[in-house]
Structure 1
């Protein structure tokens, strides 16, 4: 325990130094969660099926269309037609629908009604248009059924109640859809924020580690490491303390994103202990890369810029920005050089396929090998830089 005390002291000092940087408050705690929300809102499988904005005369027709759309999980908003046209042009609304004056009276009288529909250029516009048409047809059918009963002498209110009661005794037809597309099968069952959360863990854990390498450069330049070596502390303990500090920073970022997304967005991370093993191994790789960067460079600004650049490139190549399933076979093979790719595959197995330890053993083995190489090279480079300074 006595030998570990200096290591723990150095580890705690590095973590405090990292958290003391006020810019990290946004980039470590807030920005990752914002990106999870953005990705989930755009691409999450649990997101709504579109947004329809309705303008025009209020009345039974409009209320019936809104109710039919909402029952189909379509988000419905209202506003002036001029504002809706602008929202559609900017992509904020999928489809705009205008109900002209007099439409409600014509609908009640069983006369034809012309509605104006304005689709956007979004990829979901065609599906939302079809949902709007289906909702209007449903409202039209309901009106026709009520009119038929009214023509037979049934009061309108009693006709509506009779149709509602009749539907409760009829089993609606069901449609079973089986995905034959490989991508559809791969992403089936994912929650709205699951994919974005796992990608952000990889992106920000590595980025936070590399940008945190600036504290190692400061420690070298300000003589903190040299003073530590002057104390009754061995070189191995100092190097281990620095490595543990980088590892703690990386693991802190990873665990924070996992816990926060699980609590705030209900992200299903699968087996906690398997997810923990992936986080530990990936954090170890990140720590080794940060040590290499902090030992080789002598300028904090250059280290921060290179760290961000390298982190973004590796994340993009390894599935931290675009799912690996969308890569070509050649690019998928190239991505194997990044730790992000192996961690992405491990998370995919755990989250989507309830993988066991044996199932993710290849990914854990690759990450562990990368971590050992990165930490050994980082310790060697740091030892050389300290020796040159002395």
Structure 2
């Protein structure tokens, strides 16, 4: 299974409505389809979603680094030589989603060659995950209406509420409105995307203490080192490190320093190979994990659910697997569906990514 070709195809699909949060806004999924071809005719696929305000990558930079640096380094290796692949990728600093897409495409090839789902190769714990849905910035009434629609149509009962606005009281009011409308049986947690100061975050948490929040995520910047530790020490709910914990080393730093007590695992930024390292770190240290979302399309969501469902500790909590619901279209021949609040892995060999050639021709940006 020698690697004989690598494609990085930029595509753009609009969202039905923009997703707004403290660190930015997304109106169009300007992603990159990554394909790895082998001499035996197998092709592995994955998706690289750039987030310039978080990791510094753009659609153009992902295509360039794969075409000009990574592809020449990987051609001639086999899909089994994952350690050698990562050694070569790691010579280049950063570029997490480009590296991750290549890693997951190689796992897709291995699954196809073995005649097994990738989720089975990774661990095979279950065949589905409960789904959580992210609710972005909007007036409180609109946030409630969206959450109620998602619950009623898709059966989703876990919601991640974007916070981090100024004044913080707007977000407190929105969370209260969501709890009142959705009732006590729905799980709510908040994600600040580094938007608040530690003092505002502390005030908000005190005012939200009676809502029974499940988690709090990245309420203030990781660079506010002492303030963040101060905030976490006084919290009665787990604090998730997300964009501050993008590598195994950063996970160790955040947990051992007391700046976080849980970790978001995102296959879009750590692939399958490094995500397993992060997951095993967390299991060894006794901290919870949540499967996060990089505002992935359906391809990326297939990768996330394949990994999450493969591991017991990754499937305890609902995974962030629903952002594709806000897109106007996607590239898969058979679209994903959330049923009764759950998303299943694809049966069959590999990841089950079957690209519709007409849709790819319509949305690709390089022709």
How high is the TM-score relative to the length of structure 1? 0.24
Q: Which has the larger radius of gyration?
A: 1
Greater share of helix residues, 1 or 2? 1
The structure with the greater share of residues assigned to strand is 2
Q: How high is the TM-score relative to the length of structure 2?
A: 0.25
